[in-house]
Amino acid sequence: MSAPRTEGLSVVVVGGGTAGHIEPALAVGEAVMDLDPTARVTAVGTPRGLETELVPRRGFPLELVDPVPMPRRVGGDLVRLPVRLIRAVRGARDVLRRTGADVVVGFGGYACVPVYLAAAATRGRVPIVVHEANARAGIANRLGARFAVATLAAVSDSGLDARVVGNPVKRSVATLDRAGLRAEARAFFGLDPSAPTVLVVGGSQGARSLNAAMAGVAEEFSRAGVGVLHAVGPKNVADAPRVPGGGTAYVAVPYLDRMDLAYAAADLILCRSGAITVAEVSAVGLPAVFVPLPHGNGEQALNARDLVAGGAAMLVDDAELTPGFLRSEVLPLALDPDRLHTMSAAAVRGGSRDAAEVVARIALDAAGKARS
């Protein structure tokens, strides 16, 4: 009989490819360490995703497994799938063995499939906790839910039989005091300290339609006394909107490293409605105008539906985002503090600042039971 393990619980968080899978995993990793400083948190991803940049930056060790995308049509990729999957599962099993995993917490994406299968096939099984961030569960989490001891979701009707807990957001966002940080944030970006301010974010690379629409009204916003902080994307700086001197500042930046300060500086955000953006906006109580991506399966519109229904946000189709819409709808909203206050309160009601802690407690409980 082997001696009982005495080292801290080993929590493996899995989510690779996009920030939508990675950020909730890292937020839960932070919460695990806050709840149990003796725990060990390891992130697992693939060599192809943003995790190779994001995970080391947040201070967590990163293990890599082979990605296993599921082919959408019959062809060579489908024929090669069994061999790829077997190889990836073997690699994932090695990761679980090296880390001494007591629990796997998966957030979807290509890295999850082999890790879920490896955890389920391990002698005695490593317990699995699944969290679905999007309004429609992907293939990986549908698979993981079959083996999970707990299945969680950010929103209702995700396609999983899941407990709704909200979407985990990083500590700097979950604890953000927008009002208390506003003066510092506006000084940091060179914004007017007292003007109503709109934050425009199209993602890490910017968004062409948001940039084009704002270019048509930038001067009008400035003349009306509305400040703008606009993340245009690194490739779009040369074409960023510019306004003549004498008006309220319009600050265009390539990207935003300090989203906490950007949220604190803003009274209103114009943005896409990816799952993480929706979660962060609601967590900090920031009124929003969401512009879902025009392609895909309609998931981004679904992500925003609860906040829109609750009065915290507006929704506009990408094709309808024109200078005319910004002039007639967004500019008056930015200048209406009473309406913004009402929307902010609705956003707070619809948010889940403690989602990371809730998921972390469930994971630690599962790990403790597996260890005992």
CATH number at residue 44: 3.40.50.2000
Look at residue 3 in the predicted model and tell me its pLDDT: 42
| Domain assignment of residue 5, yes or no | no
Question: Domain check: are 99 and 139 in the same one?
Answer: yes
Residue 342 has pLDDT above 90, yes or no: yes
Same domain (yes/no): 197, 334? yes
pTM of the entire predicted model = 0.87
Give the closest residue to 20 by CA, choosing from 106, 104, 105, 108: 108
Residues paired with 153 in a beta bridge: 132, 164
Q: Are residues 358 and 294 in the same domain?
A: no
Q: What mean pLDDT do residues 146-156 have? A: 94
pLDDT exceeds cutoff 60 at 38: yes
Q: Is residue 4 part of a domain?
A: no
Residue that wins the pLDDT comparison between 278 and 350: 278
User: For 5, which DSSP code?
Assistant: P
115 and 191 both lie in a single domain: no
Residue 80 has pLDDT above 50, yes or no: yes
Question: In this prediction, what percent of the chain has a pLDDT beyond 70?
Answer: 94
For residues 216 and 84, the model is more confident at 216
Mean pLDDT of 150-173: 93
Query: Is residue 72 scored above 60 in pLDDT?
Result: no
Tell me what the pLDDT averaged over the chain comes to.
90
Residues 332, 262, single domain; the answer is yes
Q: How many domains does the chain have?
A: 2
Residues 343 and 202 in one domain: yes
Residue 88 has pLDDT above 70, yes or no: yes
Helices 19-35, 355-371: inter-axial angle, 10-degree rounding = 70
- What pLDDT does 74 receive? 44
Residues 314 and 361 in one domain: no
Same-domain status, 230 and 183: yes
pLDDT tens, position by position, 182-203:
999 999 999 999 999 999 998 6
136 lies in which domain range?
A: 10-171+353-371
- Asked whether residue 77 carries a pLDDT value surpassing 70, the answer given is no
Give CA 265 to chain center in angstroms. Answer: 20
List pLDDT tens digits, range 97-117.
999 999 999 999 889 999 999
Q: Are residues 300 and 284 in the same domain?
A: yes
Q: What is the DSSP string of 207-271?
A: -HHHHHHHHTTHHHHHHTT-EEEEE--GGGGGG-----TTS--EEEES--S-HHHHHHH-SEEEE
| pLDDT tens per residue, range 239-297 | 788 888 889 999 999 989 899 999 999 999 999 999 899 999 999 999 999 999 887 77
Is residue 3 a part of any domain in this protein?
A: no
Question: Is residue 208 very low, low, confident or very high in pLDDT (cuts 50, 70, 90)?
Answer: confident
Statement: residue 76 has pLDDT above 80: no
Q: Which residue has the tokens 């309220």?
A: 248
The count of C-alpha atoms lying within 13 angstroms of the C-alpha of 131, restricted to the half-sphere facing its C-beta, is: 32
19-35 helix and 275-284 helix, angle to the nearest 10 degrees: 50
β-sheet bridge partners, residue 53? none
Contacting residues for 275 by C-beta, under 8 A, at least 6 apart: 20, 133, 134, 135, 154, 167, 303
Centroid of chain to Cα 2: 41
User: Would you say residue 59 lies in a domain?
Assistant: yes
> Is 139 part of any domain?
yes
